Homo-oligomer: A and B are copies of this chain.
């Protein structure tokens, strides 16, 4: 196999040239996956015609300047078709044939098994199916309503992933917001991983669903280059969000695998690959220079106004969710801060932002996965999203949050109504797993303020952090503990009570800190001086203060309104282990399934109220 001479294709290339490009993408998909010994060539072959037309005539993109703000965005929701994407990179001239053949799926290289943003032409990591359309909607929303950029967003999806509910959350939003800059192309190749897909080639049903969800559907033969060209032209007419439903053949172009079961996710053995390359017309060296982004005069970036965080009077009772809302509204003075709500903004107080900055407030309704997808899309465009719902309901978006970490996205999440503290609404509404979930997210920061002053300060601190940060807030009002001039560095803590004679340290955050303070009063009355630490930063955690408390007091009681696993207690234990500290230790957390009741009843029933804390301290001290 020798490479032919280089020919450059562009928007004016005719369809016969584009056919050659499609064959090249197929050949390179086969070669790259066979060279790697794994990958998804057949899933790449089905979409090669679609992508050949797109990149030659429709994708307005400067491959040498992926950060051009006017450039289109391409999201491979079917991330397993990475051989095709990387073959496109070769055709675009940004990845060499040698790199494709020798580094795909190899350790230490960028051409990973599924695309991630370690590649400058990739906005978001994919590979967990059903997410790309959501991200595309978020990027399109940012382009139209925030950036005011002329870019279009193109998403390539598989047909199997159309079974994910998240796809319909996303298309619903594309329709609802009338995102005419959004196009998805569904590669209906009929075969999933295990066999035929649910709808196989029933493109009519796909189209009816898409239309019912408010998008324009265009059904085509996904191997008819002219039909593809017409569909993409229509999609780009600026009239409506569009989904091109393309009937295709998995393994198209390679007779030995075309439309055959048992070839999902398998590289062709070398002899088959050789035959396939011959059948596809051999190795080519076509280059593509497609349409360029329109020249735009960059809009002046609005200056950030002064951020005046709310101040609260020490001793007054204010819920941390209220302080979060005030602070978020104040942060809106930064033009890059946006807020997203899943239709609970009046409970979470995210709505305070809407009142101050309605143009940067996005209502996703009760669709937490799409709320995170929108946030990711906006973060791709450089915004700093704050997405908020009840802590319990962030679990709905766990996979999106996990993938956002793989995408190395920076965004702030706030979960309100944490723990049994919420009272009468009962266990379905109590976030009792959120700390474990958010601590285990790669590169996350986890914050849990106990009073309004620290909640406001930490809300603001999140705007300076990289990666995914999480703020846990509480439903009820509790005393303000700190003066407005107090600072709350991420990774720090506050020691609220201490003396040289402390015999035990009580550690809490959120509602349990207030219980710790009450317990310390009781213990003081019994001549048991207790240190109290406000552990407002759980990741990173203030290992130094914890080690010091362990050394000086010898006994620690950690109390949390969360299940025992993965939360404050284990964060403290990890910190103590890392510092070689070995205090006597007691851990109070929610172990039984709670019901309804008042806050006090539920805290007490869970064994995390101040009498239980005092008792645990006494037990540690053997008194």
Which one, B395, B563, B571, B595, contacts A108 given CB within 8 A? B595
Stretch at the interface among A45-53, A522-530, A576-584: A576-584
Which one, B172, B402, B569, contacts A198 given CB within 8 A? B172
A351 at the interface (CB under 8 A from B): yes
From A564, which residue of chain B is reached at the shortest CB distance? B574
Residues of chain B within 8 A (CB-CB) of A111 are 596
Across the interface, do B366 and A163 meet the contact criterion of CB distance under 8 Å? yes
Give the docked Cα–Cα distance between A130 and B168 (Å): 13
Also in contact, A366 and B164, with CB within 8 A (given A194-B343, A433-B437, A436-B440): yes
Give the docked Cα–Cα distance between A105 and B399 (Å): 33
Give the docked Cα–Cα distance between A74 and B464 (Å): 49
Give the docked Cα–Cα distance between A37 and B366 (Å): 25
A295 at the interface (CB under 8 A from B): no
> A209-244 vs B: 1/0 string, CB under 8 Å?
101111000000000000000000000000000000
A13 at the interface (CB under 8 A from B): no
Across the interface, do B436 and A565 meet the contact criterion of CB distance under 8 Å? yes
Residues of chain B within 8 A (CB-CB) of A339 are none
A392 at the interface (CB under 8 A from B): yes
Residues of chain B within 8 A (CB-CB) of A370 are 165
Across the interface, do B574 and A366 meet the contact criterion of CB distance under 8 Å? no
A495 at the interface (CB under 8 A from B): no
Smallest CB separation, A346 vs chain B (Å): 5
Also in contact, A208 and B212, with CB within 8 A (given A112-B596, A433-B402, A440-B565): yes
A602 at the interface (CB under 8 A from B): yes
A8 at the interface (CB under 8 A from B): no
Give the docked Cα–Cα distance between A405 and B437 (Å): 16
Give the docked Cα–Cα distance between A396 and B395 (Å): 8
Give the docked Cα–Cα distance between A168 and B209 (Å): 10
Smallest CB separation, A390 vs chain B (Å): 9
Across the interface, do A443 and B565 meet the contact criterion of CB distance under 8 Å? no
Q: Give the contacts of A175-215 with B (CB-CB under 8 A).
A: 176, 192-194, 197-198, 205, 208-209, 211-214
A598 at the interface (CB under 8 A from B): yes
Q: Give the contacts of A394-441 with B (CB-CB under 8 A).
A: 395-396, 398-399, 402-403, 405-406, 408, 424-429, 432-433, 436-437, 439-441
Across the interface, do B106 and A597 meet the contact criterion of CB distance under 8 Å? yes
Give the docked Cα–Cα distance between A564 and B436 (Å): 11
Residues of chain B within 8 A (CB-CB) of A570 are 565-566, 570, 573-574
Residues of chain B within 8 A (CB-CB) of A347 are 193
A129 at the interface (CB under 8 A from B): yes
A593 at the interface (CB under 8 A from B): yes
Q: Give the contacts of A581-608 with B (CB-CB under 8 A).
A: 582, 584-585, 587, 593, 595-598, 601-602, 605
Stretch at the interface among A120-128, A139-147, A482-490: A120-128
Across the interface, do A426 and B116 meet the contact criterion of CB distance under 8 Å? yes
Q: What is the size category of the interface that chain A forms with chain B? A: 35 or more
Smallest CB separation, A380 vs chain B (Å): 17
A539 at the interface (CB under 8 A from B): yes
From A591, which residue of chain B is reached at the shortest CB distance? B442
Across the interface, do B365 and A426 meet the contact criterion of CB distance under 8 Å? no
Across the interface, do B584 and A428 meet the contact criterion of CB distance under 8 Å? no
Across the interface, do B437 and A439 meet the contact criterion of CB distance under 8 Å? no
From A396, which residue of chain B is reached at the shortest CB distance? B399
Give the docked Cα–Cα distance between A170 and B602 (Å): 34
Q: Give the contacts of A500-522 with B (CB-CB under 8 A).
A: none
Smallest CB separation, A307 vs chain B (Å): 26
Which one, B212, B426, B577, contacts A127 given CB within 8 A? B426
Residues of chain B within 8 A (CB-CB) of A192 are 343, 365-366
A249 at the interface (CB under 8 A from B): no
Residues of chain B within 8 A (CB-CB) of A166 are 165
Name A's B-contacting residues (CB within 8 A): 36-39, 79, 105-109, 111-114, 116, 118, 125-130, 160-161, 163-170, 172, 176, 192-194, 197-198, 205, 208-209, 211-214, 341, 343-347, 351, 363-367, 369-370, 392-393, 395-396, 398-399, 402-403, 405-406, 408, 424-429, 432-433, 436-437, 439-443, 539, 562-567, 569-571, 573-574, 577-578, 580, 582, 584-585, 587, 593, 595-598, 601-602, 605
Closest 7 CB pairs of A and B: A165-B165, A127-B428, A107-B597, A566-B566, A436-B440, A582-B582, A165-B169
